[in-house]
Structure 1
Amino acid sequence: MNSYKRITQYLVACLLLISSAVFAQAPDQATAPDALIKMVVSDVMASVKSDPDIQKGNIPKIVDLVEKKIVPYTDMRRTTEMAMGPNWKKATPEQQNQLVLEFKNLLIRTYSGALSQLRDQTVQFKALRAAPDDKEVVVKTVVLGRGDPVPLDYRLEKTDKGWKVYDMNIMGVWLVEAYRNQFSNQISQNGIDGLVKFLQDRNKQLANAKPAN
């Protein structure tokens, strides 16, 4: 696996971790989004680096961790809706629920193993540029480690339960945009049910695959 793909997988995994830890630690809902990101990133990175099983690439343990402690705190419905674009409104409520479930599983299965890649990385946090009454913000960071610095931006929304991360940008590419083209192509060829089946098949392949070293 090339270094760019490893970094991308690691960062997407952190996106999921950050979303959960914000609420797992139950911070004050008035806490600024950049302060939340800084607190959570620092804590999560330290926790992952100190876990021998995760560092050894224990995928079942990582997946179980994500399912129990991360997924309940992410806005996967909004992430899926954004990745679907205009096609979201064409899906029935049942199809929408299926898509959210399968997309969630795809992200977990695709990126869970990347947590084992955490080693010497550190994160530089940029000053937040936002008004006090903003409901959506972007928190900018830079991941420092081996090789060139990697810009990483987090997109957050303010909900009645506090701030939630639902998208991220790595070197100019937003996560949902990267999947939007793939989803659109699948729908144009096979319809929404075809996209659901594509995701289901892909998840089965990933579940049966051996972790890459």
Structure 2
Amino acid sequence: MTKYLTNVWLVLLLACLSFQTMATQDDWKEASQVVEKATDEMLAMMKDETLRQEANREQLLGEVERIVEEVIDFEHFARRVMGRYVRTATDEEVLRFADTIKQTLIRTYSLAMVGFEVRSYTITPPHAPSPEPGMQVVNVTVTSGEGQDFGLLYYMLKQDSGWKLVNVMVDGINLRITFRNQFADMYQRNRSISATIDSWEEKIASVVEEALDDDAEG
């Protein structure tokens, strides 16, 4: 009887483990589908030569904004970038910085699209289930037109509105940590949240303007 009960418990345990694994695989599949859809839409835009023209730059920015707004949780990302300084920020300052982060990424994506060619990309399934089904990592390898591979890790968080991107690593560089260090450095020099956001906006505007000038000269 004892052996029978042990076997029953073993079967139930294996069944539970199998169910959890399947659920995690389904979660990863859902998260990866969000990444795949956004990537395909971005690549379709990159193939549209008209959007690369300077006269259509505002249209390009609008298209990029439409895509990233569906995928990225900018407020979540902004709060993590602000780090410990978020405790002293008002709700209005957090939302303002979230919008600043959004504009930063939109302009970065847009500039990259003008000067970068993608040959192909692949999404690699994880070797093991995520220990947290509500947090999935989607591994993407992008191959440039010149044949160079770039590794991207998209950190996806499951929310009521669906799977949202909350961080990304590019060839081992953690974007959120990089931004957090930049924010902390700016805060130390400005000593206020509002002034730090001003400084961030000015810096990004300067970088974008410089990149546009280089593109025009090229």
Q: Quickly name the TM-score band, shorter chain normalised.
A: 0.7 to 0.9
Give the share of equivalent positions with the same residue, in percent.
21
Once the 2 structures are TM-superposed, how far is the Cα of residue 168 of structure 1 from its aligned partner?
0.8
Contact preservation (8 Å) 2:153, 2:168 = yes
- Unaligned ranges ≥5, structure 2: 1-26
Over aligned residue pairs, what C-alpha RMSD do you find?
Answer: 2.8
Which one-letter code corresponds to 2:197 in the other structure?
V
Which one-letter code corresponds to 2:150 in the other structure?
V
Contact preservation (8 Å) 1:63, 1:109 = yes
Once the 2 structures are TM-superposed, how far is the Cα of residue 134 of structure 1 from its aligned partner?
0.4
CA 1:194–1:173: 2 relative to 1, 3 Å: same
Once the 2 structures are TM-superposed, how far is the Cα of residue 143 of structure 1 from its aligned partner?
1.3
CA 1:187–1:156: 2 relative to 1, 3 Å: same
2:48 to 51, 54, 64: 51
Once the 2 structures are TM-superposed, how far is the Cα of residue 71 of structure 1 from its aligned partner?
2.5
Range with bigger deviation, 65-74 or 86-95:
65-74
SS at structure 1 position matched to 2:101: helix
Alpha-carbon separation, structure 1, partners of 2:197 and 2:133:
35
Which one-letter code corresponds to 2:32 in the other structure?
D
Task: Name the counterpart of 1:136.
Answer: 135
Task: Name the counterpart of 2:61.
Answer: 63
Contact preservation (8 Å) 2:71, 2:163 = no
Size of the aligned set, in residue pairs, is 185
Q: List aligned pairs for 1:1-213, cutoff 5 A.
A: 32-45=30-43, 47-56=44-53, 58-71=56-69, 73-128=71-126, 129-131=128-130, 134-145=133-144, 146-191=146-191, 192-205=193-206, 211=212, 212-213=214-215
SS at structure 2 position matched to 1:81: helix
SS at structure 1 position matched to 2:133: coil
SS at structure 2 position matched to 1:32: helix
Q: TM-score, normalised by structure 1?
A: 0.74
Larger radius of gyration between Structure 1 and Structure 2? 2
Larger RCO of the pair (alpha carbons < 8 Å, separation 6+): 1
CA 1:119–1:69: 2 relative to 1, 3 Å: closer
Alpha-carbon separation, structure 2, partners of 1:66 and 1:59:
11
Larger proportion of helix: 2
CA 1:39–1:200: 2 relative to 1, 3 Å: closer
CA 1:51–1:82: 2 relative to 1, 3 Å: same
Which one-letter code corresponds to 2:48 in the other structure?
D
Once the 2 structures are TM-superposed, how far is the Cα of residue 68 of structure 1 from its aligned partner?
4.1
- Unaligned ranges ≥5, structure 1: 1-28
Q: TM-score, normalised by structure 2?
A: 0.72
CA 1:138–1:50: 2 relative to 1, 3 Å: same
